[in-house]
Amino acid sequence: MKTKWYLTVSVLLVITSLVLTACGGAGGAASSMKTEVGKGEGEVAIVDWPGYVERGANDKNYDWVTQFETETGCKVTVKDAATSDEMVTLMNQGGFDLVTASGDASLRLIAGGTVQPINIALIPSWKNVDPRLQNAAWHTVDGVHYGVPYQWGPNVLMYNTTVFSAAPSSWDVVFNEQNLPDGKTNSGRVQAPDNPIYMADAALYLKATKPELGIKDPYELTKAQFDAVVELLRQQRKLVPKYWHDATTQVEDFTTEGIIASSSWPYQVNLLIANGQSIASTFPTEGATGWADTTMMHAKAPHPNCAYLWLEHSIQPKVQGDVAAWFGSVPAVPAGCTASDLLGAEGCKTNGSENFDKISFWKTPVAACGDGSSNCVPYSEWVKSYLAIIGGK
C-alpha cells in the first residue's frame, strides 16, 4: 500500500539530499536572491500542511485567502501534504512556488538547492517575527534566510476522555502494553504516525525513562541509542493496529475505529472536539517533539512576485492569529496572539505558547553530532528502520 512505497521513495530522496549536502548544494545561493518585487503573475501555488491555507471552504469564518486574492490579483492554489517527506518529494518535482516546511524538511530543501534565499528587506513585516525564530537554524544558513517563519507548536498526546478521566501524564500509554482506566488493554487501541521522524518521540521518551542511555538530543543518536529506540518501537508495533498517514484519516480512526490515544497535532484535536467527540490533549512529563514551520520559496518558483506578496501577507497579525485558531498552533508573530477574535485572549496559551523551551523541534538527523563527532545515525537509516518496523520486521 501507500506507506511502504512512500517510505521507500523517501529513502532515495534522503540519500540524494545527503549527497547534495556533501557537495555544498546550497553554495552560491545568496547571489540568486531576488532584489525587488514586481507585478504579480496572477497565481501562487503552495504546498502546505492541511489547515494552513484556508479560504472558508471548511468554515466561512476561517478565510485568509480571499482578501489576499482580491488585493493582489494572485489566485492561491494549494496542495496538502501529509508528511515532511511528502513535501520534499513535491518540491523536488517542481511546479510549486512555496512550501510550509517543518524543520525536518527545510535543511534538506536548502542543501538540495530546491529553495531559494529570501530577501527579508522585501518583506516589511519581517521585523514583527518572534526574535527566537528570525535566525533559527532550520531556515538560516551562513546568515542567509531561506524562508519566513509561519507557525509553531508541539506534537501532543491526544486521548479519549471517556477512557481517561484524567489526562495521562506519560507517553507510556502508547509505548508499553498496559490496562487503561476503563479496565481494557491499550493493545489495538493506540496509534503512531507513519513518519520516520516519530523515532525522535521514542528517543525523547527514553531520554527521560532510561537516562543510562545518555540521550541528550533526540535527533542525535549513537548506534546504541538508536538501537534502543528501534527496540521500543518494535514493542509498540504490537500495540498499533494502524499507523496514521494524514490528519483526516486519524480523525476518522478516533471517531469510528476505537483508537483512544496517539501522538497528534492540535489540528486533529480541534477537529474532533468541534465534531462533538470526547477528545482532549496533553503535554506529557517527558516533554514533546514539535514543529516550527517556515514558508520557503522554490528555487524555480513560477510566480515569484505573487510568492513574495504571500510571504508578507502570511505574517500579518490577524492572519497569524486566525491560522493559530484553526490549526491549534502558535503564531510566529507574537502580535497574532491578540489580533484574532477567533483565537481569543487565551488562545496562544492554550496552544502551548509557554512551552517553547520544552519542545524538541523537528530537525533532520545527520551523521555529524553536536559534539563534533560523526557517530550519529543519519536520517536515511531512520527511514529504513521505521519502514521495517511498520512492516513488522
Same domain membership, residue 103 and residue 233 = no
Name residues whose C-beta falls within 8 Å of residue 318's C-beta, 6 or more positions apart in sequence: 64, 336, 339, 340
Proportion of the chain above pLDDT 70, given as a percent: 92
Confidence of residue 375 (pLDDT cuts 50, 70, 90): very high
- Are both 199 and 180 inside the same structural domain? yes
Tell whether 28 and 173 lie within a shared domain: no
Residues 282 and 313 in one domain: no
Residue 27, pLDDT > 60, answer no
Nearest of 276, 27, 313 to residue 144 by alpha carbon: 27
138-178 per-position pLDDT tens digit: 999 999 999 999 999 999 999 999 999 999 999 999 999 99
Tally of domains in the chain: 2
DSSP structure class, residue 141: E
Higher pLDDT, 332 or 18: 332
Q: Are residues 203 and 284 in the same domain?
A: yes
Nearest residue to 36 (alpha-carbon basis) of 106, 123, 154: 123
Joined grid coordinates for residue 87: 513535501
Residue 67 lies in a domain: yes
Same domain for 308 and 256, yes or no, is no
Report pLDDT digits (tens) over 95-107.
Answer: 999 999 999 999 9
pLDDT of 89 over the 60 cut: yes
The pLDDT of residue 370: 86
CA distances from 358 to 204, 328, 350 (A): 11, 17, 15
Q: Are residues 138 and 18 in the same domain?
A: yes
Model confidence band, residue 22 (pLDDT cutoffs 50, 70, 90): very low
Q: Which amino acid is at 67?
A: Q
Q: Are residues 276 and 318 in the same domain?
A: no
- Cβ-proximal residues to 257 (8 Å cutoff; 6+ apart), any chain: 241, 242
Residue 177 forms part of a structural domain: yes
- For residue 189, being part of any structural domain is answered with yes
Q: What amino acid is encoded at 245 in this protein?
A: H
Mean pLDDT of 271-290: 95
Of 15-29, 159-173, 181-195, the poorest mean pLDDT is in 15-29
From 6-10, 234-238, 287-291, 386-390, the region with the lowest mean pLDDT: 6-10
| Residues of the domain holding 137 | 2-153+291-355
Does any domain span residue 360? no
Query: What CATH number should be reported for the domain holding residue 61?
Result: 3.40.190.10
The beta strand positions in the chain, using DSSP E, are 43-48, 75-80, 98-101, 140-141, 144-145, 148-154, 156-160, 190-191, 261-264, 279-282, 288-297, 330-331, 359-361
Contact 346, 168 (CB under 8 A): no
Specify if 200 maps to a domain: yes
Choice between 358 and 23, residue whose per-residue pLDDT is larger: 358
DSSP, collapsed to helix, strand or coil, labels residue 364 as coil
The yes-or-no verdict on residue 94 having pLDDT over 60 is yes
Is the pLDDT at 12 greater than 70, yes or no?
Answer: no
Amino acid at 318: K
**Side chain identity at residue 263, one-letter code:** S
Same domain, 242 and 373: yes
* One-letter amino acid for residue 49 of the chain: W
Q: Are residues 326 and 261 in the same domain?
A: no
Render 71-82 in DSSP notation, one character per residue: HH--EEEEEE-S
With a CB cutoff of 8 Å and minimum separation 6, the contacts of 309 are 37, 40, 44, 68, 72, 74
The answer to whether residue 117 is domain-embedded is yes
- Of the pLDDT bands very low, low, confident and very high (cuts 50, 70, 90), residue 371 is confident
Mean pLDDT of 319-330: 96
The pLDDT, as a whole number, for residue 9 is 40
| Model pTM score | 0.85
Provide, rounded to the nearest whole percent, the portion of the chain with pLDDT above 90.
87
Quick check: is 129 in a domain?
Answer: yes
Label residue 42 by pLDDT band (50, 70, 90).
very high
Q: In sequence order, what are the residues at sequence separation of 6 or more whose Cβ sits closer than 8 angstroms to the Cβ of residue 165?
A: 181
- Tally Cβ neighbours within 10 Å of residue 364: 25
- For position 16, what pLDDT does the model report? 41
State the Cα–Cα distance between residues 171 and 286, nearest whole angstrom: 7
Top pLDDT among 265 and 18 is at 265
- What is residue 374's DSSP assignment? S
Checking if the pLDDT of 32 tops 80, the result is: no
Q: Would the pLDDT of 201 be above 50? A: yes
CA nearest to 105, candidates 119, 91, 88: 88
Residues 382 and 268 in one domain: yes
Mean pLDDT across the chain = 91
pLDDT at position 3, please?
A: 36
Tell whether 16 and 159 lie within a shared domain.
no
**Nearest 5°: phi and psi at 238?**
-70, -20
* Domain annotation covers residue 361: no
